[in-house]
Amino acid sequence: MNPALTLSQCERALTDRKRRCPLFHLLLICVVLRSMAFAQQASGPAEGAFGTDSLVKPVPTTAAKAFIARDITAVSLASYGHYKIFASGSGAKLYTSGLEYDRNSWGRFLGARFDYVAEFLPMVLLDAAVTSDIWGTPTTQAHQIVPGIGFSPIGFRLLWRDGRALKPYLLAKGGVLIFSKKELSQQATYENFSLQSSTGFQVKLTHRVDLRLGLFGDFHFSDAFIVPVNPGLDVMNATLGVTYHLGHPPAVH
């Protein structure tokens, strides 16, 4: 017997048996599919005629940051009257203009969005009598305009119906006013503590912009008895502002 011929015949016989064996073909298909799966995981999701394979979804590596609502409001104030509550001054009017920052730092309270508020007033104009007594009561009919600046680092806002067309609000701010001269008396100080409160509505104009209408507000400033007298002022006022919403809220699917 020829050993080489015998070995060749055995290999052909083994090959014929493999070709006729269904288990061998099934095993071969499984090996090929598994190899393709490993290759696909290594190279990323396969893209076909309709884009990325919907069965292969990438796992996010970082969680999306929570959205925090923030607003910037350009707001102006004009007083239309005064009354004596915490201060003794009278016969003066106040006009301000500046920027207010609102941030939803405290979630919700009483069904409203509960915001931290800060304000910078680069323009403060006080229309007051040229001369007054030590308590801030005018002693002449002549008036003058006294400029100043203001800053309120502490405040809050309650905003109801956030995202709707009409949004009622209530806010309060505390800070300081600095005038170019002592007001409302020569016995007063250049620096005064301030306290504001206001209520009104924000009207939605666009997705990003609201119109603020402050229907009623109170603006108080005084030196808080840093000096022996406290010739401050309490004025009723109205405000008008334009609010711009910062950031992008999360997409709704």
- 177 three-state secondary structure: strand
What is the gyration radius of the CA atoms in the chain, in angstroms? 37
* Nearest of 225, 236, 182 to residue 87 by alpha carbon: 225
Q: Is the pLDDT of residue 75 over 50?
A: yes
List the structure tokens of 185.
């008396």
pLDDT score at 7: 46
Residue 193 has pLDDT above 60, yes or no: yes
Mean pLDDT score, 139-166: 94
From 239, 244, 169, 170, select the one nearest 205 (Cα to Cα): 244
pLDDT of residue 54: 43
**Verdict on whether the full-model pTM lies above 0.85:** no
Instruction: Between 21 and 140, name the one with better pLDDT.
Output: 140
Model pLDDT for residues 199-236, shown as the tens digit of each residue: 999 999 999 999 999 989 999 999 888 877 778 899 99
What does the pLDDT look like over 76-119, one tens digit per residue? Answer: 999 998 887 777 888 899 999 999 999 999 999 999 999 999 99
Question: Does 248 have pLDDT greater than 50?
Answer: yes
Class of domain 70-246: mainly beta
Taking alpha carbons only, the member of 197, 213, 122, 190 closest to residue 154 is 197
Candidates 71, 47, 32; CA nearest to 212 is: 71
Rounded to an integer, the average pLDDT of 244-248 is 88
Q: Which amino acid is present at 79?
A: S
Task: For residue 99, give the nearest of 244, 248, 221, 229 by alpha carbon.
Answer: 244
Question: Residue 52 and residue 71: Cα distance in Å, rounded?
Answer: 38
Q: How far, in Å, CA of 138 to CA of 183, rounded?
A: 11
- Looking at residue 22, its pLDDT comes to 47
Domain ranges for the chain, please list them. Answer: 3-46, 70-246
Res. 69 pLDDT band, cuts 50 70 90 = very high
Q: Is residue 252 predicted with pLDDT exceeding 50?
A: no
97, 119 Cβ separation under 8 angstroms: no
Do 214 and 242 contact (CB within 8 A), yes or no?
no
Mean pLDDT of the 173-177 span: 96
- CA distance between the termini of the chain: 79
Q: Quick: pLDDT tens for 121-149.
A: 999 999 999 998 888 889 999 999 999 99
